[in-house]
Amino acid sequence: MTSKPLFRVLQPAAGTDAEAETVIQIWFNDQSFSVPGGRSVAAALLAAGVRRFRATPVSGAPRAPYCMMGACFECLVEIDGMPSRQSCMVTVQDGMRIHSQEGARDLPPLSDLDPSQASTENAHGR
Ligand code: FES
């Protein structure tokens, strides 16, 4: 198996808007990165050298973006406290706090549910 990245950053053509893009600061797993703005979170993290975005719920195998168009869900991360965000579909913003998603995300506790919908079922519907 290769560990060579499947993506590489293309250099903007001289005189284009991309050449003048701003650099913003984000955090991934509490590590600071300076990345170009105006692209997806996945593209920004890949350009910063991040190669592991999440771990699978069953085996814990590492995963990273694959399709970059919202189809494969391999790019799931937690963004500003919200789990299971498709990083390829979210535009990176200055100050974003991103964490890798380890296994399955938790369901909300029953205490967070609307009391009018409370029943004897737990949050898993059992
Ligand atoms: S990389 Fe496939 S859904 Fe994000």
CA of 76, closest atom in ligand 1: 4
The alpha helices in 14-105, defined as continuous H runs, are 41-47
State the pLDDT at residue 104.
79
Give the Å distance between the CA of 87 and the centre of ligand 1.
7
Give the Å distance between the CA of 50 and the centre of ligand 1.
15
State the pLDDT at residue 41.
97
**Residue extents of the structural domains in the chain:** 21-106
**Which residue did the predictor score with more confidence, 3 or 2?**
3
Class of domain 21-106: alpha beta
Out of 50, 85, 88, 98, give the residue to mutate to test ligand 1, the one with the largest number of ligand atoms within 8 Å of its CB: 88
State the DSSP code for 108: P
**Which residue did the predictor score with more confidence, 107 or 53?**
53
- CA dist 1 and 117 (Å) reads 49
**Which residue did the predictor score with more confidence, 21 or 30?**
30
Q: Is 70 in the pocket of ligand 1 (CB under 6 A)?
A: yes
What does pTM read for this prediction?
A: 0.74
Q: Which of 109, 87, 110, 107 is nearest to 97 (CA)?
A: 87
**Which residue did the predictor score with more confidence, 4 or 50?**
50
